[in-house]
Amino acid sequence: MSSDKIESERKYECHKCWVEMKKEEIKTFGPNIIIDVCPKCKGIWLDKGELDKLLKDRKLTNYLTKHIGTKSRSPMICPRCGNTMDIEKAEDIEVDVCLTCNGVWLDEGELEKLKETSEEGFEPDELAKFEEKEEEKLYKKRNSSLNKFFRKFTK
């Protein structure tokens, strides 16, 4: 046990089973990463960037964690930051992604399915992403005009 393990000592509960998640070390080509696994339902929590390290597939990871829009379609609350999450789909796999911290929740078996999808050569479905990209653009636009609006009054 070395002292640089402190970061990985944080404990989280599974949002489904309310049991403490267990740390599991996964070997990758780079430094090993430590993920949280629920001992009951075998769900996995991945922090931002960890999915990419596991899959080694930038295209697939970006598809799942970038341009996720602003609407929450998931009933799940992020176990890390407590914000709302959205459901993202790659082929027939549905994962929950946090709109704020970009962490990813995978149910049992979904990581394997994602790996298979990646090995078969994943091609992003741009059409399916279109709506979320538009949503994001609109949201940014609305925010910047709101800011202008408020600036007028705070002078």
For the CB of residue 95, give the shortest distance to Zn ion in the complex, in Å: 14
Residue with smaller CB distance to Zn ion, 8 or 144: 8
Give pairs for 95-103: CB < 8 Å, separation 24+: 95/64, 97/64, 97/65, 97/68, 99/68, 99/69, 99/70, 99/72, 101/47, 101/48, 102/48, 102/65, 102/68, 103/45, 103/46, 103/47, 103/48, 103/78, 103/79
Q: Which of residues 30-49 bind Zn ion (CB under 5 A)?
A: 38, 40-41, 43
Q: Which of residues 77-136 bind Zn ion (CB under 5 A)?
A: 78, 80-81, 98, 100-101, 103
For the CB of residue 69, give the shortest distance to Zn ion in the complex, in Å: 15
Chain positions contacting Zn ion, by CB under 5 A: 14, 16-17, 38, 40-41, 43, 78, 80-81, 98, 100-101, 103
